[in-house]
Amino acid sequence: MHADPLRLALLYGSDRPLRFCDTVAAWAQARATALGGWSIQRLDPATPAGRDGPTLLRRVREADAFLVVTPEYNHGYPAALKGMIDAVYTQWQAKPVAFVSYGGMSGGLRAVEQLRQVFASLHAVPLRDSVAFVNARDQFDPDGGLPRDNPAHEAMRLALARLHWWASALRSARLLTPYDAAA
């Protein structure tokens, strides 16, 4: 447990009705809460706040780190997620991004590779560590639980630990020298 929680924004990738994103994101949020060290808020394109430019800008500016939970559609990530990313610009800078992906047989890995390029172009810091659910619906219980022996629990722990390291280091660095001053 940390005395000074870092601020984690949880981005929902899908805005589809009856989306599986709710199940995966709820699991990821519960894992982050249980491991501690974060205060968490959601950025969800299915909500009015998730489509409101000034609200998104404020929430991204306040965040120290991002956890993106995204499905893959036709080898890419959803337009709704790109809409949230593009609504904000400098507020992503010098902050780390980790990924939880899900889908069919690719587990969303191609969507995440594309997102790494997008976030790098925004001067964010995409992490290598990620969690991917192949055939995601088969892995979760009907009530949204994930069996204890699922390797995603440990993968999520590792990704969150590395995300926390980067979030802490980059928060200190931003306070010492604003990122724009490095140009």
The widest CA-to-CA distance across the chain, in whole angstroms, is 51
User: CA angle, 147 as apex, 43 and 155 as ends, to 5°?
Assistant: 60
Q: Which is nearer to ligand FMN, 5 or 83 (CB)?
A: 83
Can residue 126 be called a binding residue for ligand FMN (CB under 6 A)? Answer: no
Which of 83-91, 101-109, 115-123, 174-182 is the region at the interface with ligand FMN (rule: CB under 6 A)?
101-109
Dist CA 179 CA 7 (whole Å): 18
Q: Under the phi-then-psi rule, with left for phi > 0, alpha for psi from -120 to 50, and beta for the rest, what region is 6?
A: beta
Task: Report if residue 19 touches ligand FMN, rule: CB under 6 A.
Answer: yes
Q: Which of 45, 50, 96, 108 forms a contact with ligand FMN (CB under 6 A)?
A: 108
Q: Of these, 21, 68, 80, 81, which contacts ligand FMN (CB under 6 A)?
A: 21
Count of beta carbons in the 10 Å neighbourhood of residue 164? 23
Q: Which residues of this chain interact with ligand FMN, rule CB under 6 A?
A: 14, 16, 19-21, 71-75, 103-106, 108
